[in-house]
């Protein structure tokens, strides 16, 4: 028997919520700009991020995040398996995390 927790994403997305797009070991910050009524589709916009004091590429990647109203826009959907994937993508390429914004560039590549 399905319960509401099996059907809806957790946490529920909200407009203005910071998210992280992960592709491999790299991460990119974004903001939710639209949420569907059933909470299963979100539109996100990439944010600007700039290094802060103490930034060091190999040891301490610390960034300041800013909304970018001109940033790239993507639509993600919540799938039956409990994962988020880009709309019109046959399989999940990367991931979407709702634990706040994060930027990280893997220095090993």
3-state secondary structure of 7: helix
21-75 pLDDT, tens digit each: 999 899 999 999 999 999 999 999 999 999 999 888 888 899 999 999 999 999 9
Is 1 part of any domain? no
Is 102 part of any domain? no
pLDDT band at 90 (very low <50, low <70, confident <90, very high): low
Range of 83's domain?
15-97
Is 47 part of any domain? yes
pTM: 0.85
Is 108 part of any domain? no
Position 91 scores a pLDDT of: 63
Is 46 part of any domain? yes
Give the contacts of 5 (CB within 8 A, at least 6 positions apart): none
Burial letters 42-60, b for 16+ CB under 10 A, else e: bbbbbbebeeeeeeeeeee
Q: Could you give the number of structural domains in the chain?
A: 1
pLDDT band at 87 (very low <50, low <70, confident <90, very high): confident
């Amino acid at each position: 028997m399905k319960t509401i927790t099996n059907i809806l994403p957790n946490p529920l997305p909200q407009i203005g919520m910071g998210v992280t797009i992960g592709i491999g070991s790299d991460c990119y910050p974004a903001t939710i700009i639209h949420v569907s009524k059933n909470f299963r589709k979100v539109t996100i916009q990439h944010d600007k991020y700039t290094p802060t004091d103490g930034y060091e590429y190999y040891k301490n990647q610390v960034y300041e995040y800013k909304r970018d109203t001109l940033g790239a826009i993507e639509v993600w959907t919540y799938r039956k398996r409990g994962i988020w994937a880009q709309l019109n993508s046959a399989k999940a390429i990367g991931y979407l995390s709702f634990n706040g914004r994060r930027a990280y560039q893997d220095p090993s590549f």
